[in-house]
Amino acid sequence: MQTRIGGNELYFYPIKDCDYSTYEDFYCNNNNMEAFLKNEAYVSHLKKEASTTLVFIDEELVAYFTLRHNKFEVEGYSKKDCIEIARIAVKESKKSQGIGQSIVNNIINLAYLFNEEYIIAMALTEVVDWYKEKLNFELVEEDEDAEDQITKPIYLNLKFNDILDEYFENP
């Protein structure tokens, strides 16, 4: 899979198709994200617990993301299947260049292809507004006591309610 950002092509490869030397020096200024990629992502991918994808510009690893299946409890309904963005990390020197947004847009496209209703994530508090403003994610619930939380649960509703309403109003 590939997409264009600025004048560059982003290429997406499953971690199982890449040699460890490709990502052993990945630096994103987040020790937990770096440790997961180097120590857990490959085995987690092979065990089918989660799917980690490496993102390249030319030969340079610029980001990675990890997806997994999960359940999302919708108000008053039973839990719904969804895609969870378990991790997204962009190389420190490549931040603020639109790579993260391109990755999330690709995840949204994948979710539509698989006819998912929701995408969920536990977003770092400092990027929640970015998800809300750039990609229309919403907080699962507002919690005034949650100011000191490192992460907050967010979701994106992918239902076609407006299209369904129009379809049933104008058959």
Where does residue 34 fall: left (phi above 0), alpha (psi -120 to 50 degrees), or beta otherwise?
Answer: alpha
pLDDT in tens, 14-65: 999 999 999 999 999 999 999 999 999 999 999 999 999 999 998 899 999 9
According to the model, what pLDDT value does residue 157 have? Answer: 87
Q: How far apart are CA 66 and CA 99, in angstroms?
A: 15
97 in Cβ contact with 5 (< 8 Å): yes
CA distances from 89 to 12, 18, 49, 99, 143 (A): 14, 17, 19, 10, 26
Q: How far apart are CA 115 and CA 126, in angstroms?
A: 30
pLDDT in tens, 76-124: 667 778 899 999 999 999 998 899 999 999 999 888 888 888 899 988 8
Domains and CATH numbers, the chain: 2-169 (3.40.630.30)
Question: What is the DSSP secondary structure assignment for residue 29, as one 8-state letter?
Answer: S
Instruction: Using CA atoms of 38, 11, 96, 22 in order, give the dihedral in degrees to the nearest 10.
Output: 30
Unique residue bearing structure tokens 């990890």: 66
pTM, rounded to two decimals: 0.85
